[in-house]
Amino acid sequence: MADTLEPIAPGLWTDGAEPQLIGGRRADGEIVFPMPDGDAAEGVEPVALSRTGTLWSWTRQDFRPKTPPYEGPEEFEPFLLGYVELPGEVIVETRIVDATLEELELGMPMELAIVPFDGSRSTFAFRPENSA
């Protein structure tokens, strides 16, 4: 279902059966995510990032974030939020799905997932590998 929903923002991930986040490689070799746009994109080359990484840090968001910038559904449900390290690339801030707080472990293998966000749009998240 998530693959039929409009992405929350353009250019965050590639199309296809196995989407990849799109980062940017700066002239000095540093990789950033998301890919910068406008003037900040000058000299930055788009690069498809790894679909897998390891859990670097995490928490649970128990309260509705301030609006703006939060644009989620009015009915707020707590969610997991973490940082996933894509080896040799970048550390990505992300939602974590298909797991509970108690199941998460430092360094556990994670994989990219495209998930529904608000009923009409999709977003990216990471989940424990092999949990689909």
Kind and range of the H or E element at 42?
none
What pLDDT is recorded for position 13?
A: 96
What pLDDT is recorded for position 73?
A: 63
What pLDDT is recorded for position 1?
A: 47
What pLDDT is recorded for position 118?
A: 78
Which residue, 44, 41, 48, is CA-closest to 15? 48
* Domains held by the chain: number: 1
What pLDDT is recorded for position 60?
A: 94
* Cα–Cα distance list, 92 to 16, 48, 104 (Å): 21, 13, 16
In sequence order, the β-bridge partners of residue 60 are: 80
Separation of first and last alpha carbons in the chain? 14
Q: Which residues of the chain have pLDDT under 50?
A: 1
Give 111's contacts (C-beta < 8 A, 6+ positions apart).
51, 52, 126, 127, 128, 129, 130, 132
What does the block give as tokens for 122?
Answer: 């999709």
What single-letter amino acid sits at 50? S
Q: Which domain holds residue 82?
A: 2-128
